[in-house]
Amino acid sequence: MAANDRTFIVFLGPPGSGKGTQARILEQKLGLPQVATGDLFRYNLKNQTELGLLARKYMDAGELVPDEVTVRMVEERLAREDCARGAILDGFPRSLPQAVALDEMLAPYGGVTVVPLFQVDDDVVVERISGRRVCRNCGAVYHVKFNPPKQEGICDVCGGELYQRDDDRPETVKNRLYVYYKHTAPLIGYYFARGLLAEIDANQPVADVTAALEAVLAERGIQV
């Protein structure tokens, strides 16, 4: 591996397929930060920044935030010191222009390393999203049935309050899935053609998905 090669893992899959859950598990194990564009937008929204206020109307409608804005945010995030060895990209890219921009960004570092595709049935997605609860403070993700906190409504990690994301309500979820199929699913072909795609059965329980992910990473020489 060349000295400037870094490891960039791109998690691809519909909303609610478990990307964030797995990214949080793997970031500990791999020592690579999770870069989740949805989390970055929510952080900006919470802090009422200009970016957060701009993103809000798109997020509320389940639409994509415009590519230029999203790409700039990711560029700034990847330039930070903690990404010096790479990152786990969760929720980016979500459109072809974003994928092309990412390739340009990563060209000096050997490009994208691998793209695990989280394959999950639509009815599973709907069940997972409807029960998702997120910590207002640290962003830890729970599920009322599949991954409940020890104490209802309270984060196990930091004691923060758990809430349901506004865009996890049924009206918005439908559009987010539509947007996934229209704008993001074409990336499956994009990465397949480049030999980077690794399909994962994400219908399984969390630990089994982690094992499947670790297996495809090992095949690419990324040891957990």
Asked if 18 is part of the footprint of ligand AMP (rule: CB under 6 A), the reply reads: no
Which residue lies nearer to ligand AMP by CB, 21 or 98?
A: 98
Asked if 101 is part of the footprint of ligand AMP (rule: CB under 6 A), the reply reads: no
C-alpha to C-alpha distances, 67 to 28, 191, 194, 197, nearest whole angstrom: 29, 19, 22, 22
Which residue lies nearer to ligand AMP by CB, 57 or 194?
A: 57
Catalytic residue at 145?
no
Number of Cβ within a 10 Å radius of residue 81: 5
Element (H, E) at 107: none
Q: Which two tokens mark 221?
A: 């020489």
Binding mask 22-51 for ligand AMP (x = CB under 6 A): ---------------xx--x----------
Smallest separation (angstroms) from ligand ADP to the CB of 110: 26
Asked if 139 is part of the footprint of ligand ADP (rule: CB under 6 A), the reply reads: no
Catalytic residue at 19?
yes
Omega of the bond leading into 170 within 30 degrees of 0 (cis):
no
Asked if 176 is part of the footprint of ligand AMP (rule: CB under 6 A), the reply reads: yes
Q: Identify residues 30-59 at the interface with ligand ADP (CB under 6 A).
A: none
The dihedral formed by the CA atoms of 163, 52, 100 and 212, expressed in degrees to the nearest 10: -20
Asked if 70 is part of the footprint of ligand AMP (rule: CB under 6 A), the reply reads: yes
Task: Identify the residue whose tokens are 């499956």.
Answer: 188
Smallest separation (angstroms) from ligand AMP to the CB of 48: 16
Give the C-alpha separation, 79 to 114, whole Å.
20
Closest to 197 in 3D by CA, of 182, 186, 210, 211: 186
Catalytic residue at 77?
no
The correct pick among 59, 120, 177, 222 for binding ligand AMP (CB under 6 A) is 59
Binding mask 172-211 for ligand ADP (x = CB under 6 A): --------------------------------xxx--x--
Contact predicate 210/27, CB 8 Å: no
Helices H / strands E in the chain, number of each = 9, 8
Number of Cβ within a 10 Å radius of residue 150: 7
Which residue lies nearer to ligand ADP by CB, 125 or 222?
A: 125
Asked if 21 is part of the footprint of ligand AMP (rule: CB under 6 A), the reply reads: no
Which residue lies nearer to ligand ADP by CB, 54 or 206?
A: 206
Which residues are identified as catalytic?
19, 94, 132, 165, 176
